[in-house]
């Protein structure tokens, strides 16, 4: 099959085993994706000349491909994606295309998530090859002072599989296809961005991403603001030092600090359900536009969330400053005590911070219940 004239046919073969003849050898594997510049990606690749398996996804560039041909089922090797059975793949594909075949079915998970994000606006770019957009994107990210991060994959952590890395600026989201591009995506520029101490990275619960980046890609994430940590800190501040019995999801934080309506963030709950139903959902290629939009929306508001948290964190400072300066406002000159105070002595206005903390602590004791470990049960309020 000629690659230039057979692109549409190749799209129909995605997920099937094909044989590719290049200028110097032949390979066999499962067709993963077909790019606009005639580059194709295979997984579960086998070098037919040596008979050895090729580790990870393999990109084949159009000018180097002489011929492409499908392989009969009986002759195929490695038919299934790693960690994914044929039954799971069938369920995956049925979910993926159900919204076009059965739009009336309300129980379909993907249809539900499609409805949830259809009215949301987000500008994103998929980065799945090293040509064209990759280097300009890296240069753009290097110029940023703050970005937000997200990750999607299977069992994220040192033993898991990273499929997507979401990177957002104020106006744009970039979705890096790690599964397709492999470790080279970090070695060719993304590692520099993630390790740059001059670029603040905002993430929600970054433990698993840090773990997999460190152990599988030797990338050390620097200068991080974790909104899950920020939420726990703010709860402790608001209750006079108590800790909550659990952490909050990104959906809860967006609702709590940005007052986003439930309808706008409900897709995050559906996303979790989808991942439980099909754990390998993020390794599917080509990825549906609906799921790409979900990945983009997941990190879109993290920068605003951080700013809202910082405003709340400095609320006490603002309160003390207003009290501190207000005591010496000219309009109150008639009630001020004309007593000279040494500059090094702590003014009485600043001595009110422990009082404020004690008041919050007493209020929390009345408002919340405790669990067996002594943490406040955040979702459960005491009955009057």
pLDDT band at 341 (very low <50, low <70, confident <90, very high): low
Which CA distances in Å does 293 have to 8, 268, 319?
A: 24, 12, 40
Q: CA geometry: angle at 61 spanning 56 and 64, to 5°?
A: 115
In this predicted structure, the answer to whether residue 100 has a pLDDT above a threshold of 80 is: no
In this predicted structure, the answer to whether residue 66 has a pLDDT above a threshold of 80 is: yes
Number of alpha helices (DSSP H) and beta strands (DSSP E) in the chain:
16, 14
pLDDT 10s digits, 3-47: 545 555 676 777 788 899 888 889 998 887 776 656 777 878 888
101 and 168 belong to one structural domain:
yes
Tally of structural domains, the chain: 3
Taking only Cα atoms into account, the Rg of the chain, rounded to an integer number of angstroms, comes to 27
Kindly state whether residue 77 falls inside one of the protein's structural domains. no
CA 189/CA 93 separation, integer angstroms: 34
Query: CB neighbours (10 Å) of residue 4?
Result: 9
Kindly state whether residue 337 falls inside one of the protein's structural domains. no
Write down the pLDDT at residue 99: 36
Closest by Cα among 142, 348, 124, 367 to 240:
367
Q: CA geometry: angle at 23 spanning 21 and 26, to 5°?
A: 30
Kindly state whether residue 78 falls inside one of the protein's structural domains. no
265 and 376 belong to one structural domain:
no
Residue 349 sits in which domain range? 321-328+345-381
Q: Which residues share a beta bridge with 30?
A: 17, 43
In sequence order, the 6+-apart residues with CB closer than 8 A to the CB of 302 are: 148, 149, 150, 168, 202, 203, 204, 227, 250
96 and 57 belong to one structural domain:
no
251 and 288 belong to one structural domain:
yes
pLDDT 10s digits, 278-314: 888 898 888 889 999 999 999 999 999 999 999 999 9
Tokens of 183: 């470790």
**Burial profile 255-274: b = 16 or more Cβ within 10 angstroms, e = fewer:** bbbeebeeebbbbbebbeeb
44 and 190 belong to one structural domain:
no
The residue assigned the tokens 């005591």 is 327
Which CA distances in Å does 360 have to 242, 244, 309, 356, 366?
A: 10, 14, 18, 6, 10
Kindly state whether residue 213 falls inside one of the protein's structural domains. yes
Write down the pLDDT at residue 280: 86
178 and 255 belong to one structural domain:
yes
134 and 32 belong to one structural domain:
no
Kindly state whether residue 288 falls inside one of the protein's structural domains. yes
Percent of the chain scoring above 70 in pLDDT: 81
Average pLDDT over residues 113-142: 92
The pTM for the full model equals: 0.70
232 and 298 belong to one structural domain:
yes
Write down the pLDDT at residue 327: 60
């Amino acid at each position: 099959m000629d690659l230039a004239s057979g692109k549409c046919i190749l799209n129909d073969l995605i997920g099937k085993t094909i044989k590719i003849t290049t200028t110097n050898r032949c390979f066999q594997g499962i067709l993963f994706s077909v790019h606009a510049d005639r580059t194709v990606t295979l997984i579960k690749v086998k070098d037919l000349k040596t008979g050895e398996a090729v580790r990870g996804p393999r990109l084949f560039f159009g000018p180097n491909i002489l011929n492409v041909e499908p392989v009969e089922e009986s002759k195929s090797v490695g038919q299934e994606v790693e960690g994914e059975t044929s039954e799971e793949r069938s369920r995956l594909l049925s979910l993926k295309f159900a919204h076009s075949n059965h739009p009336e079915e309300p129980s379909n998970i993907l249809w539900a998530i499609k409805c949830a994000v259809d009215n949301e606006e987000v500008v994103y770019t998929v980065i799945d090859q090293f040509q064209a957009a990759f280097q300009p994107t890296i240069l753009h990210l290097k110029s940023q002072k703050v970005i937000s991060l997200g990750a999607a994959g299977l069992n994220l952590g040192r033993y898991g599989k990273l499929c997507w890395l979401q990177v957002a600026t104020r106006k744009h989201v970039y979705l890096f296809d790690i599964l397709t591009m492999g470790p080279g995506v970090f070695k060719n520029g993304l590692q520099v961005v993630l390790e740059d101490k001059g670029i603040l990275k905002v993430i929600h619960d970054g433990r698993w991403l840090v773990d997999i980046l460190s152990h599988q890609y030797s990338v050390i994430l620097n200068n991080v603001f974790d909104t899950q940590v920020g939420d726990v800190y703010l709860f402790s501040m608001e209750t006079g030092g108590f800790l909550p019995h659990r952490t909050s999801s990104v959906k809860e934080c967006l609702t709590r600090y940005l007052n986003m309506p439930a309808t706008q963030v409900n897709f995050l709950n559906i996303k979790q359900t989808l991942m439980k139903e099909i754990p390998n959902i993020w390794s599917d290629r080509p990825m549906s536009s609906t799921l790409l939009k979900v990945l983009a929306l997941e990190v879109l508001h993290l920068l605003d969330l951080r700013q809202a948290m910082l405003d709340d964190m400095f609320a006490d400072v603002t309160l003390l400053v207003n009290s501190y300066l207000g005591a010496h406002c000219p309009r109150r000159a008639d009630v001020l005590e004309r007593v000279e105070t040494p500059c090094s002595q702590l003014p009485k206005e600043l001595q009110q911070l422990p009082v404020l903390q004690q008041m919050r602590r007493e209020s929390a004791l009345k408002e919340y219940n405790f669990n067996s470990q002594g943490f406040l049960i955040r979702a459960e309020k005491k009955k009057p």
